[in-house]
């Protein structure tokens, strides 16, 4: 293994990838369950696990791309990183649309595409992308912003200032004043996870009290999102998943801190390191395939609601994760396909 490799970040990448698959399995039929039934509450708790993990994954990107000591030119950003993700996105989203047209998903029904006007139908098919692929354009947007964000991370005072106003913006936007909400939603908050990832990575030592406080806040953030769903669902009489971004950030920071402070201390065997690196190198492919495969597993192999959801969701998530991994491994053996599409 490369001595410069930060193994706990690979562990975090694999962990977040699996939790995304896990949460997607839970949310798939969450809205179909009887409101406030025991199963509904289990699906609710499982679905929320994925809320902080997306932000934690963004924090990993911030560690590598916002470090001023790492030389990343604008040309390299576009020719290597942005170009590949753009190709992957443009290649996979029409294929996913074809799949969902065939499958007839309730989360992404054919009616979204089909119109009486053939030109409108074609436009919808090529411009609308499956919801689970939102991650790719989000990361592309981050890459485009990297040169600007690196100006922030190069100066400790500006970095601290940015984090402070971002945290304030999260809470102040609850005032619902349009200009504040717009500033928070479109300028300040979107880049916060990446900057926080770099900031926490550069913290040489996190005290025990700070670590405990972050874990406590992370648990509070998780429970708050669970209760939010209960509150808004009760208010509207149907399942309504509304999550405040501040709870997502708090949960992501707690997860990141746990891996930095605890998992980093684990002395993995050479074989364990190889497995972790193997899984980490295939997470993008797993992410790309997991939603269609989850649908196939649910319909043809093992319905998510076929037995107690306390156990069915983890089982279906593991099956989906492993099948996605196998397909990714096989496709990566095709050199040209691996280079451009996965």
Radius of gyration of the chain (CA): 21
Statement: the pTM of the whole predicted model exceeds 0.85: yes
Mean confidence (pLDDT) of the chain = 87
Q: Say what the pLDDT of residue 183 is.
A: 64
pLDDT confidence bin for 98, thresholds 50/70/90: confident
DSSP string, 7-62: HHHHHHHHHHHHHHHHHHHHHHTGGGSPTT-HHHHHHHHHHHHHHHHHHHHHHHHH
* pLDDT (0 to 100) of residue 54: 84
Under 8 Å between Cβ of 166 and 159: no
Band (246; pLDDT cuts 50, 70, 90): confident
Q: What is the pLDDT of residue 64?
A: 93
Q: What is the pLDDT of residue 105?
A: 65
pLDDT digits (tens, 9 = 90+) for 127-166: 665 667 888 888 999 999 999 999 999 999 999 988 888 8
pLDDT tens across 58-72, in order? 999 999 999 988 889
Whether residue 174 is predicted with pLDDT greater than 90 in this model: the reply is: no
pLDDT band at 85 (very low <50, low <70, confident <90, very high): very high
Is the separation of the CB atoms in 218 and 254 below 8 Å?
yes
pLDDT for residue 113 is more than 70: no
What values do phi and psi take at 109, rounded to 5?
Answer: -70, 155
């Amino acid at each position: 293994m490369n001595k410069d490799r930060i193994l706990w970040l690979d562990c975090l990448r694999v962990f977040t990838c699996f939790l995304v698959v896990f949460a997607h399995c839970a949310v798939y039929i969450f809205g179909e369950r009887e409101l406030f039934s025991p199963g509904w509450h289990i699906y609710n708790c499982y679905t929320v696990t994925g809320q902080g993990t997306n932000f934690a994954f963004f924090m990993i990107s911030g560690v590598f791309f916002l470090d001023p000591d790492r030389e990343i030119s604008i040309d390299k950003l576009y020719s290597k990183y942005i170009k590949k993700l753009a190709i992957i996105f443009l290649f996979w989203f029409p294929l996913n649309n074809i799949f969902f047209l065939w499958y007839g998903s309730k989360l992404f029904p054919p009616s979204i595409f089909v119109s009486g006007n053939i030109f409108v139908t074609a436009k919808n098919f090529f411009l609308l992308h499956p919801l689970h692929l939102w991650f790719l354009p989000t990361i592309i947007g981050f890459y485009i912003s990297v040169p600007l964000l690196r100006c922030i991370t190069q100066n400790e005072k500006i970095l601290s200032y940015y984090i402070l106003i971002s945290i304030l913006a999260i809470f102040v936007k609850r005032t619902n004043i349009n200009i504040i909400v717009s500033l928070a939603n479109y300028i300040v908050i979107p880049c916060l996870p990446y900057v926080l990832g770099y900031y926490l990575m550069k913290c040489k030592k996190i005290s025990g009290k700070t670590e405990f406080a972050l874990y406590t806040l992370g648990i509070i953030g998780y429970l708050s999102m669970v209760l939010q769903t209960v509150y808004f669902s009760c208010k509207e009489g149907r399942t309504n998943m509304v999550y405040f971004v501040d709870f997502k950030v708090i949960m992501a920071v707690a997860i990141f801190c746990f891996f930095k402070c605890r998992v980093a201390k684990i002395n993995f065997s050479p074989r364990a390191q190889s497995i972790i690196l193997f899984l980490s190198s295939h997470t993008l492919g797993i992410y790309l395939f997991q939603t269609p495969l989850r649908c196939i597993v649910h319909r043809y192999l093992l319905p998510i609601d076929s037995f107690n959801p306390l156990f069915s969701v983890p089982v279906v998530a593991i099956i989906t994760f492993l099948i996605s991994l196998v397909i990714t491994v096989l496709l990566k053996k095709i050199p040209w396909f691996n280079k451009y599409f996965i």
